[in-house]
Chains A and B, each alone.
Chain A
Amino acid sequence: MLAYILEPSGRFLLHVWEEEALVFDTCSGDTHMLDPVATALVGRLGESGLDLPALQRWLDETFVLPDQQAASTLAEAALLNLRAIGLVRLVPLEDR
């Protein structure tokens, strides 16, 4: 089983405005924008990590979404984006 965790080091600076956020990567110097789903995910993930089904359930409960399919599509797209930025990593879920 794999889990998503937030990059723990001080590499990223996050500034949240209402539902959206800006992320600054202190290594590359790039600035990225996070949409509401990505911002919420970052807020929920923390360092403990969550697997994809758990994330989707949480997304479904938090946002008013038309169906289950929408929740998983949104979550996957946002996670892909967050992983491309480097803010979120996919790691093997240790027996915690």
Chain B
Amino acid sequence: MSAWFRLKIADLPFNELARRLRDGTLLLDLHPFVVRIRAPQAAVATALGKLYAHFPVQEADAFADFHIALRPGRGLRRWIRPQVSFEFDGKQAFKPLPEDQAYPMFEWGLNWCIAAHAHQFLILHAAVIERGGRAIIMPAPPGSGKSTLCAGLVSRGWRLLSDELALVHMETGLVHGMARPINLKNRSIEVIRRFQPGAAMSDPVNDTVKGTVALLGPPAESVSRVREAALPAHIVFPRYLADAPAAFVPADKTHSAMRVADEAFNYGIHGRRGFEALTALIDRCTCHEFAYGSLEEAIEAFEQLPGIPQ
């Protein structure tokens, strides 16, 4: 195998992918992290094969940042209502969930692993997209339509960095993403299916804590450029409002900074350096409120943002 060739999930036959997942020897490269996964559930192999197809894998003896296992429940329950539990390096991290939620649990659990450990970054609960070298960070609480907007923009040529976690480098101020799948909930699943027919999407799972969820695969180009960190240019606080015309309203920097701090997982842990990183981020960005009722209009509006190439 030549040095430039990097083995990808798509290069593994399904049986080999399933075997590695069963044995706990699948090392998924999600730059800047490598995750070692043990998951015997067929649904997880299917979802990873479909949504992570373009991601590189590493050999079993490589360094992994996080060791994750999705373990089938034990005891009598396994026959009546099978469950799955999420283990971080051999320790159960959350209450078990019904087995059909195994794949979404992998995504949520991985988010937790990163948010709870990767303090080399300021970690924001935010979507990040990029075009022409200018990144847009969209911090927002759940239910704001952030993921739907992110999915829509990404399907129209914006590069996906992240749908959930913005990793802001403490020294450079550059934002890193992992180009992982986008977490769609409830009605937005149907919205995106209609908006982008034929997109790679996981089977919807009903009755999770977040309602019905499905994950949307990232564009191949975003995955291949995952190592390119981007300089943040805009901070947008999105809000879906039925029938509202898509419009940006300037947001003042002080309030924006407080809202970004509220949406950060580890702002407090960074202390003084966190404050400096936060104010540097706000300094270099233009801040906007953004309400939208139609995805088409929203995408048009984003293309009009200052400094964004057509």
Check A-B contact in the complex, CB < 8 A: yes
Interface size class of A (residues with CB under 8 A): 10 to 19
Say which one of A26-34, A52-60, A68-76 lies at the interface with B: A26-34
B69: which A residues are within 8 A, CB to CB?
none
A17: which B residues are within 8 A, CB to CB?
252-254, 257, 282
User: What 0/1 readout, one digit per residue, does chain B (179-200) give for beta carbons within 8 Å of chain A?
Assistant: 0000000000000000000000
Smallest beta-carbon distance A43→chain B, Å: 15
A22 adjacent to B257 (CB under 8 Å): yes
A13, A20, A21: the one within 8 Å of B275 (CB)? A13
What CA separation (Å) do A81 and B271 show in the bound complex?
22
B39 within 8 A of A: no
A29: which B residues are within 8 A, CB to CB?
268, 271
B268: which A residues are within 8 A, CB to CB?
29
B305 within 8 A of A: no
Smallest beta-carbon distance B173→chain A, Å: 15
Interface size class of B (residues with CB under 8 A): 10 to 19
B282 adjacent to A26 (CB under 8 Å): no
B272 adjacent to A26 (CB under 8 Å): yes
B252, B261, B267, B279: the one within 8 Å of A15 (CB)? B279
A22, A24, A26: the one within 8 Å of B254 (CB)? A22
Q: How many A-B pairs with Cβ below 8 Å?
A: 36
A21 adjacent to B254 (CB under 8 Å): yes
Q: Which B267-289 residues have C-beta < 8 A from chain A?
A: 267-268, 271-272, 275-276, 279, 282
Chain A CB count within 10 A is highest, among B254, B271, B272, for B254
B77: which A residues are within 8 A, CB to CB?
none
B272: which A residues are within 8 A, CB to CB?
13, 24, 26
User: What 0/1 readout, one digit per residue, does chain A (8-46) give for beta carbons within 8 Å of chain B?
Assistant: 000001010110111010100101011000000000000
What CA separation (Å) do A31 and B272 show in the bound complex?
10
A31 adjacent to B258 (CB under 8 Å): yes
What CA separation (Å) do A33 and B157 show in the bound complex?
38
What CA separation (Å) do A22 and B268 show in the bound complex?
15
What CA separation (Å) do A20 and B275 show in the bound complex?
16
Contact flag A18-B253 (CB < 8 Å), given A31-B258, A31-B261: yes
What CA separation (Å) do A84 and B279 show in the bound complex?
23
Q: Which residues of A contact B (CB under 8 A)?
A: 13, 15, 17-18, 20-22, 24, 26, 29, 31, 33-34
Q: Which residues of B contact A (CB under 8 A)?
A: 252-255, 257-258, 261, 267-268, 271-272, 275-276, 279, 282
What are 29 sample pairs from A and B whose C-beta atoms fall under 8 A apart?
Answer: A13-B275, A13-B276, A15-B257, A15-B275, A17-B252, A17-B253, A17-B254, A17-B257, A17-B282, A18-B252, A18-B253, A20-B252, A20-B253, A20-B254, A21-B254, A22-B254, A22-B257, A22-B258, A22-B279, A24-B272, A26-B272, A29-B268, A31-B258, A31-B261, A31-B267, A31-B275, A33-B255, A33-B258, A34-B254
Q: Which 6 A-B residue pairs are closest in the complex by CB-CB distance?
A: A17-B253, A24-B275, A20-B254, A15-B279, A26-B272, A33-B254
